[in-house]
């Protein structure tokens, strides 16, 4: 019988501790700390995400119920809700932010060969945001409306593996298009975005980096057709044109040629795509935009299965710390899934881990796919009543 480390410890073994210490040292995270280090804080918050704890008292009760296992889980400090609340309130959230980027870099390299439809060599990113509603009296710093507070989670997701490559957390008033200013376009990459990101000066910035974008025309966008290309109407493509903008400001903000593709899907919905990519088939452009829904699945997944809609603290630092650790847990599970070559979904893995963290069983045995399969025999297993 296996008598080694707990499942939680085996999960945390996937964390590059030297990189975590670098992030802590960068912001002097442990300065003046005696007993409850930044690592203790991260492990407690990661435990809360994996088991979906609802409050600091909940975290304290669960961890204090197994004092003999805490040291073996890597938690060496005393657990109390006041200590954890103070850590979330005062320790720089950028520690968790930088460490999340370390895990993201690892995950993206593991998923670099993940199959992607359409089959392209270029990296494809999808950009989107999701709003998390908050109580104005508890979160007055999260400005949104007169009677409502909210934060926005802006994400640039690598569609090959659906790994977030960039995340920014702002108050609800910040418009999606403003986040484009924080990004440095990757040469040769394709950026897929909806009409909320339509700003011609920013699109021209992407074009100048020899990167590509796929978005949609607004109904009031003024343009002039230069020429039309051959199309296959049976595939839903209604037109494929080379155009130039003719608006008063848009023609100066984006002086180059653009490609316009009009497409009708099987549900008879009409799409008017805009791109600076002229070499790919028009149907591939439509497929790229269709794949944008993957980033919405990412938002849906973390909202349903991680703790980012209800918070353990009300300060901006506490909220950002909790969200960054939630992202780290999501990416960490994706890393483990790839390293162990598992076929089950992240949802299944998370549900299994949530009830086995204190078990002393090999991680790959707990997550072995064969244990979730029903053995179906060729003969009927129904017993005869008579």
Residues listed for the chain: 386
| Gap between the Cα atoms of 313 and 269, Å rounded | 44
Instruction: Determine whether 206 is exposed, middle or buried from the number of CB atoms within 10 Å of its CB (0-12, 13-18, 19+).
Output: buried
| Enclosing domain of residue 334 | 7-95+321-372
Whole-number mean pLDDT of the chain?
88
In a domain, 24, yes or no: yes
Query: Of the segments 62-66, 112-116, 301-305, which one has the largest average pLDDT value?
Result: 62-66
Quickly tell me which residue has 């964390």 as its tokens: 15
Whether the pLDDT of residue 2 is over 80: the answer is no
Task: Residue 221: name the closest of 205, 238, 233, 203 by CA.
Answer: 203
CB contact at 8 A, 42 and 96 = yes
In a domain, 91, yes or no: yes
Residue 253 tokens, joined: 């903000």
Residue % of the chain over a pLDDT of 70: 95
In a domain, 198, yes or no: no
State mean pLDDT over 65-79: 84
Task: Residue 259: name the closest of 284, 233, 291 by CA.
Answer: 284
Distances (CA, A) of 207 to 104, 123, 188, 199, 212: 26, 15, 10, 12, 6
In a domain, 187, yes or no: no
Residue 149 tokens, joined: 């507070």
In a domain, 328, yes or no: yes
In a domain, 151, yes or no: no
Q: Which of 24-28, 43-47, 69-73 has the lowest mean pLDDT?
A: 69-73
CB contact at 8 A, 223 and 206 = no
For residue 195, give every residue at least 6 positions away whose Cβ sits within 8 Å of its Cβ, in sequence order, or none. Answer: 215, 216, 217, 218
Kindly report, residue by residue over 97-106, the tens digit of the pLDDT. 999 999 999 9
More confident: 244 or 372: 244
- C-alpha dihedral (120, 123, 124, 129), degrees to nearest 10: 170
pLDDT at position 335 is: 94
pLDDT at position 4 is: 73
Q: Within 10 Å of residue 293's Cβ, how many Cβ atoms? A: 13
In a domain, 52, yes or no: yes
226: three-class secondary structure by DSSP: strand
Quickly tell me which residue has 């839903």 as its tokens: 236
276-285: list long-range contacts, CB under 8 Å, 24+ apart. 276/203, 276/206, 276/207, 276/212, 276/213, 277/190, 277/212, 277/213, 277/214, 278/242, 280/120, 282/229, 282/231, 282/237, 282/240, 283/232, 283/235, 283/236, 283/237, 284/118, 284/120, 285/214, 285/259, 285/261
Q: pLDDT-based confidence at 317, cuts 50/70/90? A: very high
Whether the pLDDT of residue 42 is over 50: the answer is yes
Q: Within 10 Å of residue 114's Cβ, how many Cβ atoms? A: 14
Kindly report, residue by residue over 150-184, the tens digit of the pLDDT. 999 999 999 888 889 999 999 999 988 988 888 88
State mean pLDDT over 45-54: 92
pLDDT at position 372 is: 52
Q: pLDDT-based confidence at 71, cuts 50/70/90? A: confident
Domain count, the chain: 1
Whether the pLDDT of residue 53 is over 60: the answer is yes
In a domain, 45, yes or no: yes
Sign of CA dihedral 110, 116, 122, 124: negative
The structure's pTM equals 0.88
């Amino acid at each position: 019988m296996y008598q080694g480390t707990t499942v939680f410890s085996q999960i945390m073994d996937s964390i590059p501790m030297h990189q975590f210490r670098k992030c802590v040292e960068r912001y002097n995270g442990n300065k003046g700390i005696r007993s409850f280090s930044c690592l203790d804080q991260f492990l407690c918050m990661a435990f809360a995400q994996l088991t979906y704890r609802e409050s600091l008292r909940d975290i304290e009760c669960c961890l204090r119920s197994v004092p003999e296992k805490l040291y073996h889980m890597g938690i060496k400090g005393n657990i109390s809700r006041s200590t954890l609340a103070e850590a979330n309130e005062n320790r720089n959230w950028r520690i968790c932010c930088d460490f999340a980027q370390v895990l993201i870099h690892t995950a993206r390299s593991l998923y670099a060969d993940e199959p992607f439809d359409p089959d392209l060599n270029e990296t494809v990113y999808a950009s989107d945001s999701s709003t998390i509603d908050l109580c104005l009296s508890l979160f007055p710093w999260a400005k949104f409306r007169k009677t409502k507070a909210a934060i926005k989670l802006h994400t640039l997701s690598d569609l090959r593996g659906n790994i977030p490559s960039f995340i920014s957390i702002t108050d609800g008033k910040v418009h999606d298009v403003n986040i484009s200013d924080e990004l440095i376009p990757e040469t040769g990459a394709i950026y897929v975005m909806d009409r909320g990101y339509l700003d011609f000066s920013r699109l021209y910035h992407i074009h100048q980096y020899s990167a590509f974008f796929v978005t949609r025309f607004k109904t009031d966008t003024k343009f002039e057709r230069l020429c039309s290309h051959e199309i296959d109407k049976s595939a839903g493509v209604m037109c494929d044109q080379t155009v130039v903008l003719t608006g008063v400001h848009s023609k100066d903000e984006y002086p180059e040629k653009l490609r316009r593709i009009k497409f009708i899907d099987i549900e008879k919905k009409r799409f008017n795509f805009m791109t600076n990519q002229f070499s790919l088939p028009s149907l591939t452009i439509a497929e790229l935009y269709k794949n944008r829904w993957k980033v919405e699945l990412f938002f849906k997944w973390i909202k349903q299965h991680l703790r980012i809609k209800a918070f353990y603290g009300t300060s901006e630092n506490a909220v950002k710390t909790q969200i960054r650790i939630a992202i780290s847990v999501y990416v960490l599970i994706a890393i483990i899934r790839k390293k162990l070559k598992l076929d089950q979904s992240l949802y299944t893995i998370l549900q299994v881990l949530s009830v086995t963290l204190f078990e002393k069983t090999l991680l790959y045995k707990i997550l072995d796919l064969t244990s979730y399969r029903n053995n179906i025999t060729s003969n009927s297993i129904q017993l005869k009543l008579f």
